[in-house]
Amino acid sequence: MRRVFDPDESEALRATARDAALEDPTLAYVLLDLADSGVDPNDRPTRDDIKAECGIETAPATGGEQRVA
């Protein structure tokens, strides 16, 4: 099954890819792939969803401590 973006959404992803190409070619490649495949990034689980699914808890930092996930 292939989802199709609205043409304006696909073009916006391609424009962002063109802007990012020189600084981050990997990001540009991923954005172009998304635009071509029609995958809706808003329909994917968030990082927090995945962490919760895996049972990973992120406690708030206390005092001068810094938490890194």
Q: 2-59: per-residue pLDDT in tens? A: 555 677 888 888 898 889 888 898 888 888 887 787 766 667 777 788 888 888 876 6
- Is 0.85 surpassed by the pTM of this model? no
What is the pLDDT at residue 2? 52
13 and 31 Cβ atoms separated by less than 8 Å:
yes
Residues 6 or more apart whose Cβ sits within 8 Å of residue 27: 17, 20
What is the pLDDT at residue 63? 61
